[in-house]
Amino acid sequence: MSQPLFPPLQFVSAAGRATPYRRMGSGPAVGLVHSLGGSLLNWDRVQPALAERADTLVYDWGGHGGSEKAMEPFSMADLGDQLADLLGQVFGRPALLAGVAAGSAIALQCALDHPERVAGLVLGAPTSAVAEATGQGMRERVGLIRSGGMATAVDASVQAGFPEAFRELHPEVIERYRHEFMSVAPQAYANSSDAFSRFDVSARLSQVGVPVLLLPGELDPYFPPPVAEGLRQRRPDWRLQLLPGVGHFEHLQAPDLIVQAVLSQLPG
């Protein structure tokens, strides 16, 4: 099978931050938001398939990939503003947003703060709040990264993010993930992780006015299926689709399932 030919990256200033993005396809607008420690390259096995039916956008946020490496701290609201400004400049119309983990949180934040930019949500590894114990653990890891660099966290991220069976069967995916993780600037990862560790929009779930599909991974240790089930109890109108045998980094482990889920939310 031939490899997809990706268009060159484009660059804008979104909410005052240098932001690279890649746009492919035509049709309904779809924005894809990568996870913590990743980059727009995370979507290389997703975007081409979606681009056959949609106008798709991937981008880098929070100092990941080629995005601006700001030294000052920022919040999830800031990241939602960046996404909203990018969507406005590139699409100029509401978009279906899909993300994984921190990417889902950014998409949800954007939908709450900028509802005019969002037509729907597909939330992988979803949560409306990072639990206090989880957040404390993330902030402790931030301290290690600030002092010792990304190498202090890469092994733990791989082990927690991918089920053991997947790691054994797909070493090429793991190697690529390790490379992307290690290439993130420590300060950027620390700022992003600190922002995500304080994420909490639980009190605002009633304000979400677009269709939502929740995609918990069966083997996700960070946001296991009961987290998504709790969200659906709060919002029974939201759909929930369990991804069997899938861990935390759903877009890297099961790109075909992510493609199918996003396509199911497109109009028509």
Please state, in angstroms and as integers, the Cα–Cα distance from residue 52 to each residue in 4, 24, 140, 258, following that order. 12, 9, 42, 15
CA distance linking residue 227 with residue 125, whole number of Å: 9
Query: To the nearest whole percent, how much of the chain has pLDDT over 90?
Result: 90
How confident is the model at residue 3, as a pLDDT?
64
Contact 15, 51 (CB under 8 A): no
Q: SS3 for 73-110, per residue?
A: CCCHHHHHHHHHHHHHHHCCCCEEEEEECHHHHHHHHH
Tokens of 182: 């290690």
Q: What is the CATH number of domain 10-264?
A: 3.40.50.1820
Residue-wise pLDDT for 34-70, tens only, equals 999 999 999 999 999 999 999 999 999 999 999 999 8
As a whole number, the mean pLDDT across the chain is: 95
Closest C-alpha among 113, 109, 139 to residue 126:
109
Q: Residue 1: is its pLDDT beyond 70?
A: no
Residue-wise pLDDT for 60-104, tens only, equals 999 999 999 988 899 999 999 999 999 999 999 999 999 999 999
**For the chain, what are the domain ranges?**
10-264
Q: Pick the range with the lowest mean pLDDT from 135-149, 181-195, 249-263.
A: 135-149
Q: Residue 171: is its pLDDT beyond 90?
A: yes
How confident is the model at residue 77, as a pLDDT?
98
